[in-house]
Amino acid sequence: MRYPTANDRRVVITGIGVITSIGRTRESVWKAIQRGESGVRRLTGVPHIPDGLMLGATADVEGEYPGQLKNIPLCRQTAAEALADARIHFGRVDRDRFGCSIGGHMGDVDFVTERVGLASLMPDGKPPWWQQWFPNTACMTVANDYRLGGPRLCNSTACATGTIAVLKAARAIQDNQCDLALAGSSEAIHPLFATGFYNMGVLADHVDPTLACRPFDANRSGFVMGEGAAMFVLESLAHARQRGATIYAEIAGGRILNDARHVTSLDANSDALSELIRVTLKSSHLVPRDIAYVNAHGTGTKQNDLLESRGIRTAFGRAADSLCVSANKSMLGHLVNASGSVELAITALALRDGFAPPTLNLTDPDPECDLDCVPLIGRAQPLEHALKLSIAFGGHLAAIALRRWTGREARQPQLLLRQAA
């Protein structure tokens, strides 16, 4: 009998797939991030919102999927990219020890709003309603595509969904329920959510759409909605080494907490968020000065950015002065369910290449958000450890600490692109 070792419980990232408004592949998205490109455009045809009054960052998927929820091809294509990136050969891995943790999404509600009789439950040109009604449809579809027999997990935790999906997969590996897992989430702009956010008055606007989302800026006015997906192949370190995989980063630790005071806001002192950071670092055997980069939730709303900055400052203390903090939503929009997974992917690539991504449109930093938020232009610098934060409606708080992998198994850094000043 072989007894478990400490290495059996370590979880590493061996494959990544990404689609967003600024690229259809992992590396194309990352290069656009380095250049500081924005995918935000003015949208038309959104029900119940006058044309031109809503901004968004939409993602393109390859092929035609008439009548199918966009979340499904988003997840399928990023899963395929992640599996290829990890060099998974299904003849050499145990599918029954391969899990799947994909965040929930809005199901197909068209039949509810359009139904005038039983026949319209199966309108022409659409899959039967029961194939995509459930929020776990993408998880089911991807797991079935590859006949994955390990744990099948799906959570719906608003803007923390993608981060928690990765944490749940990592825990399943650590608990020896599986050896490896696909984990991630997707988002497609849904008219119900778009109308809700529009009526709440939290969506930003600007004559130039690319300048609308301004996290940590004194003139920020809200977020814009975005689309995309990210998938990871996670493995136990022992399994990854056994099959000769190369590694992006280790999931050093992570935690989930809640802010039990309000549906949409943090407490004024950011106590829950600062506690989340502290317990995440403790679970990762790290101290504040070990973290070089924080990928913030950074929505661009007045309240979120102020309270997130306050929580980071409280948790890191003096070490906050040496942090790089950036908000990818300035380029990608707010991907809601997919924000955690896409931004975690960007964090892993930042560690690989030693590059802190920029916060776009940060021309007039809010003095109350007193952190180095990497304004306008990204920064090449050594990064060993990074922290991803997610703050969600419903009080969901989640964080993951990543450790850059070094040595012969490590992914080799890619050539950084020069940015125009």
396 is an active site residue = no
Known catalytic membership, residue 285: no
Q: Which two tokens stand for residue 413?
A: 């850094």
Q: DSSP H helical segments within 243-396, as ranges?
A: 271-283, 302-316, 329-332, 339-353
Contacts of residue 47, Cβ cutoff 8 Å, sequence gap at least 6: 191, 195
Active-site pick, 190, 239, 334, 396: 334
The backbone torsions φ and ψ at residue 289, rounded to the nearest 5 degrees and listed phi first, read -70, -10
Instruction: Point out the catalytic residue in the list 75, 159, 178, 324.
Output: 159
CB–CB of 307/277 below 8 Å? no
Active-site residue (options: 105, 297, 385, 396):
297
Q: Which two tokens stand for residue 322?
A: 């040496």
Please tell me whether residue 91 adopts helix, strand or coil conformation.
helix
E strands, 161-261, in order = 180-187, 225-226, 228-236, 249-258
- Provide the token pair at 38: 């924005």
**Spatial distance between the Cα atoms of 31 and 396, rounded to a whole number of angstroms:** 31
Told to judge if 334 belongs to the known catalytic residues of this protein, a careful annotator would answer yes
In contact, 125 and 67? CB cutoff 8 Å? yes
The SS3 call for residue 313 is: helix
State the Cα–Cα distance between residues 92 and 90, nearest whole angstrom: 5
What is the Cα–Cα distance from 230 to 303, expressed in whole angstroms? 27
d(C-alpha 43, C-alpha 55), whole Å: 6
- How far, in Å, CA of 262 to CA of 270, rounded? 12
CA 238 – CA 231 distance, rounded (Å)? 21
Distances (CA, A) of 4 to 121, 173, 378: 51, 13, 42
- With beta carbons less than 8 A apart as the criterion, state whether 224 and 207 touch: no
205-244 in b/e burial notation, b at 16+ Cβ within 10 A? Answer: ebeebbbbbbbbbeebbbbbbbbbbbbbbbbbbbbbeebe
Q: Token pair of 249, please?
A: 């980063």
Q: Which two tokens stand for residue 393?
A: 């409606």
Residue 377 tokens read as: 């232009």
Active site residue ranges: 159, 297, 334
